[in-house]
Chains A and B, each alone.
Chain A
């Protein structure tokens, strides 16, 4: 009886050792390397997020807008968000940046109350309409027309 018990125990020990060995050979190694690549990729991701944040921040402060448009494709690529989420999240990202640069624009006196109140009212009303409309993301044609209008506007500003 005793010897059988001992055998069982030794078998168990052997098994567990074998399991550990098998684990270390089959499972732990890939997990370790997986952790490494995860850490690497998250570091890489952080690097890209910080770098793109600097670019977005500078553009948004310097031009007083447009950071959101640069932000959308970056959110899609770096954080792999879908189109709707990246459009909505871009507003969330731009908000604190715009708050800081708006503060400096106001200090510098680049604000005039009449156009601000009238245009601002329109922007807020339009913004609410646009936010509800995100459920139906604008189709190709709308985005293409928007791009053409922007391009013409850009040329006019340069000339």
Chain B
């Protein structure tokens, strides 16, 4: 019972950041691997699927608020689709502990950038 509550709670907290477009996944994935001890690949897969469902709701809200801009984004999306498939396949081939360390480095770099931008603005 408590595990259910814990799982929902962790999802809820990172969902808030995801809905804000602040990177719910970058919070959810480390929470799942560090605190719940899930496998890195499993955390990443869960994050992707959970994000898809969440994005439907938050996009609907953002669209109604007039925050979604469509001009020009097709170029990002088309090239992004090709490379997201490549990235997903590569992640499948690599062992989980390698992926975990790589994700850790990615997180550190992202957070440094975020921190600098937060102080600057």
Contacts and interface: CB of A to CB of B under 8 A. Distances in A.
A119 B11 contact: yes
A66 B110 CA distance: 9
A51 B76 CA distance: 8
Contacts of A71: 76
* Majority-rule SS of B interface residues: helix
Interface stretch (A5-13, A18-26, A28-36, A90-98): A90-98
A140 to B, nearest CB: 5
* Majority-rule SS of A interface residues: helix
Given A100-B81, A124-B54, A69 B26 contact: yes
Interface residues of B, number: 100
A62 B29 contact: no
Interface string B97-120: 001111111111011111101110
Interface of B: 3-4, 7-34, 36, 38-39, 41-55, 57-59, 61-63, 65, 67-73, 75-92, 99-108, 110-115, 117-119, 121
